Amino acid sequence: MAIERTLAILKPDCVRKQLIGEVTSHIQKAGFKILGMKMIRLTSETAGGFYAVHRGRPFFDELIKFMSSGACVPIALEKENAVADYRKLIGATDPKDAEDGTIRKLYADNKGENIVHGSDSVDNGKIEISYFFSERELVANNS
Ligand code: CDP
Ligand code: MG
């Protein structure tokens, strides 16, 4: 299997609930290498740009309001088969449907406020990482 990169975001509910350490620990214990990590506050514009693919969907406005409601923590991750393995680790979008032991099942309140983001393909992983990190911020010196 190929080494891939994927983008995680610890969403504003994760930060508000003081779960940055706990959720990051799940990610690291699952074997992901952290290449870059920062705390930022998205605006409606930057959140809207990130989720442009969902523009026009009924949940879009609420999603943008939520994502810009507080600090969040984008994390660039690397691992063999990273995209699919990370999606498995976080579980289904709606925590009600997520498998036991997944991050969303453990910590999320509802489908909107669901603790974490994860890229859905290798190509989107690259695009999404570049939305938050420049190449020199991806310091792969922790192997
Ligand atoms: O995050 P994921 O890839 O699992 O789901 P998505 O379908 O790409 O949707 C992006 C985000 O929009 C979700 O993580 C939810 O925060 C939100 N969403 C929502 O509030 N209601 C929906 N019906 C679908 C998504
Ligand atoms: Mg998605």
Residues 26-36 pLDDT 10s: 999 999 999 99
Can you tell me the distance from the alpha carbon of 93 to that of 113, in angstroms, rounded to the nearest whole number? 10
Q: Give the pocket of ligand 1 (CB within 6 Å).
A: 54, 59, 63, 93, 111-112, 114, 117, 120
Write down the residue that tokens 């299997």 correspond to.
1
| 135 Cα: distance to centroid of ligand 2 (angstroms) | 23
Q: Is residue 120 within 8 Å of residue 113, measured between CB atoms?
A: no
Task: List the domain range (segments joined by +) for residue 38.
Answer: 3-137
- How many structural domains compose the chain? 1
pLDDT tens-digit series, residues 63-108: 999 999 999 999 999 999 999 999 999 999 999 999 999 999 999 9
The pLDDT confidence band at residue 139, using thresholds 50, 70 and 90, is: confident
Is 142 domain-assigned? no
Distance between Cα 142 and ligand 1 center (Å):
31
Question: Catalytic amino acids?
Answer: 117
Supply the DSSP symbol for 111.
S
pLDDT at residue 143, as a whole number: 53
Q: Is residue 41 part of a domain?
A: yes
Q: Is residue 13 part of a domain?
A: yes
CATH number at residue 106: 3.30.70.141
143 occurs within a structural domain: no
In single-letter form, the type of residue at position 112 comes to G
Which tens digit of pLDDT belongs to each residue from 8-51? 999 999 999 999 999 999 999 999 999 999 999 999 999 999 99
